[in-house]
Amino acid sequence: MDVQQLRCFVAVAEELHFGRAAERLHLTPSPVSRAVRDLERELGVALFVRRYHQVELTSDGRALLDPVRDVLLRVDSLKGLVNAPTAARRVVHVGGTHLSPPAVMDHLLAITEQRFPGHEIEVTTAPSAELLPGLERGDLDLALVHLPLDRSDLDSLVVARYTFCVVTRADDPLADRDELSLGELTERTMTIGPATVQPTVMNRFHKRLKDAGITSFHRMPDHDSALLAAHIRRSHGLALTLHPRHGGSSRVFDDAAFAVVPLRDDLEFLLGVAWVRHRADQDEVVRDLVRAVRQEWAGHTLTL
């Protein structure tokens, strides 16, 4: 077996489509298909179940995927080891939304530092809507943003799923509940943030609330946790938040003046890392970052 066969296998396994895998590798489908079949023949097992317009990994393919990723990561790192004394170490640019729990961003930076020891790592903190154009311009190599994305040139990996709580004043009639559902909030006014931080995500989130029967909304001018807390105190309103134990902006509600009640409903609010698809094939830094985060989070999504 050779490295190109392994690269073709990983590309097809991640895209689950020979055509898209070929585009990603800047090849035509025929050599990609041939490389995978040669690898299967050499290993003596089928790695994929091939159907019309559909490809699935077999159990052998799933078992092989992570070890092959690790092999490729080690192979790609050889050049850096040989050139380390003389080659200039370029800056690694990582972005993160300030609205995510700090521990997740801290973990992403730890992964980056471990993968690129000795490199300068430049961190940009901004709303997702500002980070995504930065990725497309090449200003960022990878960014932690809220998903889903509506940009065809970007790829992403889910790293965390939010579990929301309802926050009210401590003297609110709902404050002593063990948990709440959206259906129990339909007579109340829900305070929400502006859509501008990530329009695709926030508009989907707003629609989910409306579909649950909530019709009265108060939209804050920006995502300022102190202003939100002051508004809830003053208006006797309610909002959705992560539990204060996750830190960040939700810590403002770790206060006896507020009640934080778990929400039963899953609002499918996702946090993930994003990158430019073609740069992951052409830029060693982006490729290594993507492999590192896949090894850490693929199949191990956090629940916040």
Coil, strand or helix at 57: strand
Residue 297 CA to residue 144 CA, distance in Å, equals: 13
List all residues 6 or more positions away from 28 whose beta carbon is below 8 Å from its beta carbon.
22
C-alpha separations of 231 from 165, 169, 242 in Å: 17, 10, 17
Note if the pTM is more than 0.85.
no
Task: Report residue 168 CA to chain centroid gap.
Answer: 29
Answer yes or no: is pLDDT of 226 > 90. no
Please indicate whether residue 197 or residue 263 has the higher confidence score (pLDDT): 263
CA distances from 251 to 1, 151, 167 (A): 53, 32, 12
Q: What is the pLDDT of residue 86?
A: 35
pLDDT higher than 60, residue 83: no
Q: Is residue 80 predicted with pLDDT exceeding 70?
A: no
Confidence of residue 185 (pLDDT cuts 50, 70, 90): very high
Strand order in the sheet with 216-219: 216-219, 189-192, 238-241, 165-169, 258-262
CA 250 to CA 196: how far, in whole Å?
Answer: 20
Place of tokens 């807390």: 229
Distance CA(3)–CA(255), nearest Å, equals: 56
Structure tokens at 24: 């990603």
Instruction: Check residue 81 and give its pLDDT.
Output: 57
**Residue-wise burial string across 76-113, b where 16 or more C-beta atoms lie within 10 A, e elsewhere:** eeeeeeeeeeeeeeeebbbbbbebbbeebbebbbebbe
Q: How many whole angstroms separate alpha carbon 281 and alpha carbon 11?
A: 10
Q: In sequence order, what are the beta bridge partners of 154?
A: 276
* Number of residues that this document lists for the chain: 304
State which H helix or E strand residue 161 sits in: strand 154-161
Residue 173 has φ and ψ, to the nearest 5°, of -60, -25
pLDDT value for 98 = 84
Mean pLDDT, to the nearest integer, of 79-96?
66
Angle, helices 284-297 vs 102-115, to 10°: value is: 130
Write the CB contacts of 2 (distance below 8 Å, at least 6 apart in sequence).
Answer: none
What mean pLDDT is reported for the chain?
Answer: 87
Q: Tens of pLDDT along 26-47?
A: 777 888 888 889 899 889 999 9
The residue behind tokens 């202003």 is 227
Task: Enumerate domains of the chain plus CATH numbers.
Answer: 3-83 (1.10.10.10), 92-156+271-303 (3.40.190.10), 163-262 (3.40.190.10)
DSSP 8-class letter at 145: E
Residue-wise over 3-38: b if at least 16 C-beta within 10 A, else e? eebbbbbbbbbbbebbebbbbbbebeeeebbebbee
> What Å distances lie between residue 242 and 208, 225, 248, 304, CA to CA?
17, 12, 9, 7
pLDDT digits (tens, 9 = 90+) for 98-119: 888 888 999 999 999 998 888 8
